[in-house]
Amino acid sequence: MDLYPQTPVPSEASDFSDEFKTIDGGDWENGAIASRPARLYPKYSASLIYSERDFSEFYALYEFFMSQRGRSGRFAFADFNGHDASPVGIAWPKLLVGVGTGAQTAWDLPMMNSSGYDTGASGGDPGYGIFVDGTRRARGTGATEYAFASGTGANGRDKVTFVTAPTAGQIIEWRATGRRVVQARFVVDKATFQSFTNMITKTGLQVEEVRW
């Protein structure tokens, strides 16, 4: 899978969103509104605006759009927020890594340039790191339950390898500071060069997560 071009860099902070879905039981006359979640994890999307770039940089993005054949292509997209910060990226809430199979020990994380997952003593801040069914796994003194490898996953994603594979049905989540990575696609099929230029300079070039 291709990685979305890392250069040029959007000139403004990426406007990203996370969208849930909710099933409603109706809006009733007495004011009662019942609802329940239809999605456990949100769908990520981003709008990217580039400005004051030369033609060759625009053309690189246009060429990438063409290579993906519009919406049909799937690529890895790394959120640009905090890309030049130190530490790199921003702090994210728990992100879905996957659902255990009972056999798979190595998992690519939905993040690159991860940091802050094991700061502090004895395995780090309990609010950050990798969680299996909501329980944080240790990666510190005397209790190493997983190994972390920076940038060794697909498309430069970070990777963890568990000592013992999470059992089937266990939900694996990752919380850290870094650049969030999702499998994504463009949201439009059509882009003349002029409209494409308008999109990336004014209205925003939009991508959305495609999880499966």
Partner 1 sequence: MTYSIANNANDQVVKTFLLVQIDFEETVYWTDCDIPIVTTGGEGDAPAARWEPTGIKVSGITTRQSDSNLASIEIQNADNFMSAIMFSTSSPVGARARVYEAWFDPTKTSAIPDDTKLLLDGLCGGPELSRSGDTATATLRALRGLLGSRVIPRRKVVDLCMFDFKGSVGCQYAGAATECDRTKATCTSLGNQARFGGFPWNNGA
Task: Give exposure, 35-48, as e/b (b: 16+ Cβ within 10 Å).
Answer: eeeeeebeebbbbb
If one asks whether residue 34 binds partner 1 (CB under 8 A), the answer comes out as: yes
- What is the C-alpha end-to-end distance of the chain, expressed in Å? 14
If one asks whether residue 41 binds partner 1 (CB under 8 A), the answer comes out as: yes
Cβ proximity of 108 and 153 under 8 Å: yes
Closest CA to 148 of 110, 182, 107, 178: 107
Residue choice 36, 84, 121, 192 for contact with partner 1 (CB under 8 A): 36
Cβ proximity of 174 and 139 under 8 Å: no
If one asks whether residue 99 binds partner 1 (CB under 8 A), the answer comes out as: yes
If one asks whether residue 211 binds partner 1 (CB under 8 A), the answer comes out as: yes
If one asks whether residue 104 binds partner 1 (CB under 8 A), the answer comes out as: no
CA distances from 157 to 50, 53, 164, 181, 197 (A): 24, 28, 21, 7, 29
If one asks whether residue 134 binds partner 1 (CB under 8 A), the answer comes out as: yes
Q: Which stretch binds partner 1 (CB under 8 A): 37-45, 76-84, 112-120, 148-156?
A: 37-45
If one asks whether residue 170 binds partner 1 (CB under 8 A), the answer comes out as: yes
Per rule CB under 8 A, count of chain residues that contact partner 1: 20
Instruction: Please give the residues from 48 up to 77 whose contact with partner 1 meets the rule CB under 8 A.
Output: none
> Taking the CA of residue 29 as centre, how many other CA atoms within 13 Å lie in the half-sphere pointing to its CB?
0
Residue choice 169, 187, 195, 202 for contact with partner 1 (CB under 8 A): 169
* Cβ closest to partner 1, residue 5 vs residue 70: 70
* Cβ closest to partner 1, residue 2 vs residue 133: 133
What is the closest distance, in whole angstroms, from the C-beta atom of residue 151 to partner 1 in the complex? 25
* Cβ closest to partner 1, residue 202 vs residue 211: 211
If one asks whether residue 40 binds partner 1 (CB under 8 A), the answer comes out as: yes
Asked if the bond preceding 87 is cis, omega within 30° of 0, the reply is yes
* Cβ closest to partner 1, residue 91 vs residue 96: 96
Q: Which secondary structure element, helix H or strand E, spans residue 132, and what is its range? A: strand 129-132
**Per-residue tokens: 99:** 């659902």
Task: Give exposure, 119-150, as e/b (b: 16+ Cβ within 10 Å).
Answer: eeeebbeeebbbbbeeebbbbeeeeebbebee
* Cβ closest to partner 1, residue 13 vs residue 168: 168
Residues that bind partner 1 (CB under 8 A): 34-41, 96, 99, 101, 133-134, 168-171, 189, 211-212
